[in-house]
Amino acid sequence: MKYDYNALMKEIYEEVRALGIPVSGNIEPEVQINTRAKKRYGRCMRLHGEKYEYRIEVSAYLEDKDENCVRSVLAHELLHTCPRCMNHKLLWKTYAGKMNNAYSYCITATTEEALVEYEEKPVKYMLQCT
């Protein structure tokens, strides 16, 4: 593993708190690595009936990225643990803007960059409306 995601998440958590952003204190401390995720860098899951309220996972493809990208992804997912921020609406964007301004992150709602190169597959079926 190229990065210590757990240590990075702790650092970023403190940065979020320092800005007065109401990030949850009930996040699973171990960042999960998803080896199957090919369309997203990270995910914040709300857990029901478990010890922690949230779990954060990152794609294994993130290991090839620079540290600022990794930190931005972790910060993005941490912001989803704030009340009313399990989406990319105005409140989440406001918090992301504060983080970007204070720490030079590049937190965005989505990324245009593909995680893996896809090879085009032949079309099996073609539907045509009459």
Q: How far apart are CA 41 and CA 27, in angstroms?
A: 18
Decide if 55 is inside a domain: yes
Identity of the amino acid at 75: A
Task: Using pLDDT thresholds of 50, 70 and 90, give the confidence band for residue 123.
Answer: confident
Decide if 61 is inside a domain: yes
Decide if 123 is inside a domain: no
Contacts 24+ apart (CB under 8 A), 42-45: 42/73, 42/74, 42/76, 42/77, 43/77, 44/77, 44/78, 44/80, 44/81, 44/86
Decide if 12 is inside a domain: yes
| Percentage of residues of the chain with pLDDT beyond 90 | 72
How many residues are recorded in the chain?
A: 130
Report the CATH number that the domain containing residue 59 is assigned in CATH.
Answer: 3.30.2010.10
> What pLDDT was estimated at residue 67?
93
Decide if 122 is inside a domain: no
Tell me the mean pLDDT in the region 38-56: 92
Task: Using pLDDT thresholds of 50, 70 and 90, give the confidence band for residue 82.
Answer: very high
Mean per-residue pLDDT over the chain, rounded? 90
Decide if 99 is inside a domain: yes
pLDDT of 116 above 60: no
pLDDT of 104 above 60: yes
Decide if 116 is inside a domain: no
**Span of 25-39, 53-67, 113-127 with lowest mean pLDDT:** 113-127
pLDDT of 126 above 90: no
Decide if 109 is inside a domain: no
Number of domains in the chain: 1
The tokens of 37 are what?
């995720």
Tell me the mean pLDDT in the region 49-75: 93
Range of the domain at 41: 5-103
